[in-house]
Amino acid sequence: MQLISMPAAQDRGRTGFAISRKALRLAVDRNRVRRMLRVLLREARPVADAHDLIVRLKPGARRTDFPAIVAEAARLLGNLAAQRRTP
């Protein structure tokens, strides 16, 4: 997983998801991961709103990896929050 961020260009940051067919073959799996990531971003709203984000899932994920994918995204958002607090 890769998280690309930059300061928000508008009042509220935007988020984009890049989950290719090579990463997850079935559309139902790609949509499920997007839904899970949207929930995670809603919970991390103060940090996510301050940035424009692109969440990219790299190829090689499996259906059984969904909890690990969300955990990795949470870790990356936590790193982003820590960078924001550190001057």
Domain architecture of the chain: domains with CATH: 2-85 (3.30.230.10)
Q: How far is it, in rounded angstroms, from Cα 61 to Cα 59?
A: 6
Total-model pTM: 0.85
Per-residue pLDDT reduced to its tens digit, 21-77: 999 999 999 999 999 999 999 998 888 888 999 999 989 888 888 999 999 999 999
Residue 87 has pLDDT above 70, yes or no: no
**DSSP string across 33-77:** HHHHHHHHHHHTHHHHHTEEEEEEEPS---GGGHHHHHHHHHHHH
